[in-house]
Structure 1
């Protein structure tokens, strides 16, 4: 269970299957898979107590490559299947693997209700801003102007923000990571520790159909100025500590400030509080380019989970009652069909 003290009970090898991993060479999914396999032993998870559920898409091949129980379900319906799994056995660790198209297009309704209900699970949304499996059509997160087989003159759709969607749906844990970044495992660990629905957006490079779309903040040369890694109780610093984010109190928006001689307090740099929902929204909505991309745990404020409420309700409803299947079947309008004698 994800509220237990982590005890190493396995090795990364124990989480690898005998299946050939088949993604395009250079796909960011390989890095995410390895990060998850490395993380599992460190959080004390057990393969026989773990279930991976996916929908449809490149990322949804994931369950084949994890030596656990798994379901490769239908497009957009992974949250519904995962809910059934968790209600049937609340002791299982349930992970949902999905993509920007799977979770936010055909599966948007299911994703919303999973987050609203607060099922205890981890949702890893691989965001490459494109439909990779079906050969490069634009997705709900594709940027305006994206040229694809379905938008040859450039997309005119305003893109969806996965984390804004999750926060607006009532999500209580919102985080971001990058497929090849060494800090991704710590984000996964934080998601696992959270009791409830933990939503993690992973920026994942599609080398074939949308290569380097995240390069302005993921490339090594751009990382210092393009990435803001958040830590609870620590100042929001980036650019090797020479810049930070300050809230303009006049109209409540972030502004970038210079930090002189490491004195971030004098510059008014905001200290990150993972339980502050309003600030979380501001961090998610920061315009790309003008601000760094907020990464790590953006919001973490637990509340009672869906399955715990269902279990408690069932216990209360069954008090003083003995299970009797025959009585249940016979309740209401019943009749008996007598066997007629055999006629020759």
Structure 2
């Protein structure tokens, strides 16, 4: 029978204190696209399609005393997305529990918090992977099932694209050609939406190297470029190296956020959203939150399981993303 009581380390106050003292987690897609101010809790287990990516644009004025102008469209189709949870767990077996009894309260709290921190990092890495997938306009993420993986799929629509006529690794390429491509990608986004006052560019590894080679070429004199801190500045357009990747759980290989041969433009001011749906756990009071953790005793196996849960749904603003194959 398990005699060790860890409840005091899983109270709301204890968890808040622990989480606020843990190091800040960093990852490129979450930090640059699904930023903190774009993350919100959602009080329902499903998300209505009609609530996502609502058009925001100028409207007509109305005559004084007339009816207000509706900004919604009537539809007989009600479609919902059901976010699915990440639920990693850490298990303390009988030996671990006995070892915990040798520690004082501070030691036990440190060990418990270390395990919570690991679960927190796993959830963040998983959310980052799903967020990276969403930049294509859809999610096709592995869902654990008996004996293998199924696929959790969400389609948000088609992103924009630009056809690069002269590949950036072509012998005759110039900075004028590259600048024209960057301007066109920016224009594609700005013509589709009023967002685009802050357009950023991410380049894959080979694309970035090809662009660096162009900048260093003595034959390009009409436009100047500068390389600094993983960024190439061409007439005010900053192309950043994006070399981050996540693990494809099915194949076990690494998948680049931006493929080596591609460049992606995105409107940093567009309404990308990270939605955290309500947690399906009575101990969480069925509350929406980015991260929930609890412990469960199993007297039959003399184990204590620490279980985390998060139900993120990255919602890309698809008309604020433009992809191009550069090489």
Same fold, TM exceeding 0.5? no
TM-score under structure 2 normalisation?
Answer: 0.24
| Structure of higher RCO (CA pairs closer than 8 Å, 6+ residues apart) | 2
Structure (1/2) with the larger strand percentage = 2
User: TM-score, normalized by length of structure 1?
Assistant: 0.23
